[in-house]
Structure 1
């Protein structure tokens, strides 16, 4: 944001004590967070502020501080009250009112065709009248604001356009529009910081949620340097970063296992029982085999007989004589039967 643009915004805020903030149809967390952060910042600095959306806030906006202050019109609490409902030619004969016990009753008398709308179609609003200063947040076209106001009524209104979308038409008296911003919340954070407005923890957390939503928790490659710079300021003012969501681990399990978490345990028990049953069957089979083929008794076993050339040790010991023969030392004469 250049100094010239910042000076113009400061001048517009100094001239107007009342400020209106508008977001278009179906705003994201980023756009709504930026709008509510500016709402809280202007409110703390003594401004009369109204914030409005062209559509009902969503559940994803529920964590943002100030979401309960978002209105469906920019008229504020004062001024005229307008009652609106669908109309088709011929279905309303006349409109009148009655006073009963301090209550004003508006009577819509139906024609012959009857009324085609129900109670849910009746809307109450305060006309915006002449707005002095209007911030439009994250809306590429002014027509995206729907029935919040009539664009022809903005001739005396200073319109400030804050957006980061490339399709933004560049409307307004003061524009802060650039695709170099990765979120609208970082634009709002930069503006609040440069204006030296007080940034409490509610404002800081709103802006942190907005930047996180727009940048996929800072994982997007489009996350700008300004976003990280603003995050540092927000953290110093009490904001906390959300934990990134981990991708779920997909297990290859059957639908039956997914429905019954104890199915795997049952299968293990069944396998264990089957193994035990097989062991018992094997033991029984071995017992049957032993009964059918009885073992030999020790008395029926044959003793080992010595083979040829083998002599029993006890026989050898009996034949041994401890005393040598008497002619052991006498000379020996060979005697043979062979003639030479």
Structure 2
């Protein structure tokens, strides 16, 4: 068994044992990075894992599951997080009241600012424990930006799977799947998905193709 097969076998072992995982991409992620991370997200979901994707910056993409990319580390959890677009000074106050069986969160805009558009409000759960961290297309952990620098304690004692092709990769993972000659990260993620024995459906295939095409 060559080194690549050993690495893939180790990733398979870690992934099979874990209950929850988070997939992280660097600031200003490439199309390939977004495609690879969302493909892995879809694949891990098919395995029944609790999984999330995070990036320090808001990501604009039409790829499947790109709307799942958030700016916090966490996989599931019991804390409901309500997110919406915000500009400095736009909110006057946040309050709540209880009416019968309903808990109402009240967000009041500051005078001169637009009221909150309900269509732009997103709901997710946070606070869940993470077993494994997949880092995609980042030569160093600092490349992740504030998602790393503000949460360094959450990386302690975790299995970190470093998936990258940068010549300058620092091999910071507990497992380093780094190929500096391959043309795209999506190809590396494809080999992981195949090793895990997950069926590649239309959504995964579409994303992987988009990532590979953008890098070649």
| Same topology, TM > 0.5 | yes
Instruction: Give the equivalent residue in structure 2 for 1:131.
Output: 130
Partner of residue 52 from structure 2, selected from 39, 50, 53: 50
Match runs of 1:293-304 below 5 Å: none
TM-score, normalisation: structure 1: 0.50
Q: Is the 8 A contact 2:53 2:69 kept in 1?
A: yes
Change in Cα spacing, 1:125 to 1:45, as seen in structure 2 (3 Å) is: closer
Change in Cα spacing, 1:126 to 1:43, as seen in structure 2 (3 Å) is: closer
Richer in helix (by share): 1
Change in Cα spacing, 1:125 to 1:24, as seen in structure 2 (3 Å) is: farther
Q: Is the 8 A contact 1:159 1:172 kept in 2?
A: yes
Distance 2:44 2:126 in 1: 22
Confirm or deny that 1:103 pairs with 2:110: no
Match runs of 1:223-242 below 5 Å: none
Q: Is the 8 A contact 1:130 1:154 kept in 2?
A: no
Secondary structure of the corresponding residue to residue 134 of structure 1: strand
Distance 1:164 1:9 in 2: 17
Match runs of 1:200-239 below 5 Å: 200-215=201-216
Structure possessing the higher relative contact order (Cα contacts under 8 Å, 6 or more residues apart):
2
Change in Cα spacing, 1:105 to 1:159, as seen in structure 2 (3 Å) is: same
Confirm or deny that 1:198 pairs with 2:199: yes
What is the alpha-carbon root mean square deviation over aligned residues?
3.2
Alpha-carbon shift at residue 182 of structure 1 (Å): 1.4
Alpha-carbon shift at residue 195 of structure 1 (Å): 2.5
Deviation digits for residues 11-39 of structure 1, max 9, x if unmatched?
11121122211111110110000001111
- Structure 1 residue runs without a partner (length 5+): 86-94, 108-118, 216-340
Instruction: Give the equivalent residue in structure 2 for 1:68.
Output: 67
Instruction: Give the equivalent residue in structure 1 for 2:170.
Output: 169
Q: Is the 8 A contact 2:21 2:75 kept in 1?
A: no
Confirm or deny that 1:147 pairs with 2:156: no
- Structure 2 residue runs without a partner (length 5+): 87-92, 108-114, 117-122
Q: Is the 8 A contact 2:77 2:127 kept in 1?
A: no
Deviation digits for residues 137-177 of structure 1, max 9, x if unmatched?
10122123233351222223111000101122211110111
Secondary structure of the corresponding residue to residue 2 of structure 1: helix
Richer in strand (by share): 2
Deviation digits for residues 56-102 of structure 1, max 9, x if unmatched?
122xx31x2222222222324423467999xxxxxxxxx99764424
Change in Cα spacing, 1:43 to 1:129, as seen in structure 2 (3 Å) is: closer
Alpha-carbon shift at residue 4 of structure 1 (Å): 1.6
Single out whichever of 146-155 and 194-203 deviates more from structure 2: 146-155
The structure that has the greater radius of gyration is 1
Alpha-carbon shift at residue 105 of structure 1 (Å): 5.6
Deviation digits for residues 164-211 of structure 1, max 9, x if unmatched?
011222111101112111111110111112332211122112111111
TM-score, normalisation: structure 2: 0.75
Distance 1:125 1:141 in 2: 28
How many pairs align?
194
Partner of residue 20 from structure 2, selected from 14, 18, 22: 18
Match runs of 1:185-334 below 5 Å: 185-215=186-216
Deviation digits for residues 265-324 of structure 1, max 9, x if unmatched?
xxxxxxxxxxxxxxxxxxxxxxxxxxxxxxxxxxxxxxxxxxxxxxxxxxxxxxxxxxxx
Instruction: Give the equivalent residue in structure 2 for 1:183.
Output: 184
